[in-house]
Structure 1
Amino acid sequence: MDKGQNTGGLMSSAGLVRYFDSEDSNAIRIDPKTVIAFGVMLGVVVQLLTLVS
């Protein structure tokens, strides 16, 4: 391999790192505790509905 050739290793992933590090100020922000609480409540509702029917 010539020294002048670019293998595309680190340089090709640098754009992805910048993309995922940047946060959009207009993005929806949800607290992780809210997601867990919603999942638990949904599970309880499903369990109650299976008991009733």
Structure 2
Amino acid sequence: MSSDSGGLMSSAGLVRYFDAEDQNTIRIDPRTIVAFGILFGALILVLNAMA
């Protein structure tokens, strides 16, 4: 018996968990998040300049 076999078996559940894609989850493109952050930052700068 090899002592290396325990690591792969213990992580197999996590691999199955992260590979399973739920169809009910919200899918958002990462570029959308970055664009929203940039726009939000620009809005804050504009509002600070007006005050």
For this structure pair, what is the TM-score category when the shorter chain's length is used for normalisation? 0.7 to 0.9
TM-superposed CA distance for 1:31, in Å, is 1.6
> After TM superposition, what 4+ stretches of structure 1 lie above 6 angstroms from structure 2?
none
Query: Which structure has the bigger radius of gyration?
Result: 1
Matched, 1:50 2:48: yes
- Unpaired runs of 5+ residues, structure 1, are none
Identity %: 56
TM-score of the aligned structures, taking structure 2 as reference length: 0.76
* Counterpart for residue 12 of structure 1: 10
TM-score of the aligned structures, taking structure 1 as reference length: 0.74
Matched, 1:27 2:25: yes
The alignment of Structure 1 onto Structure 2 pairs a total of residues equal to 51
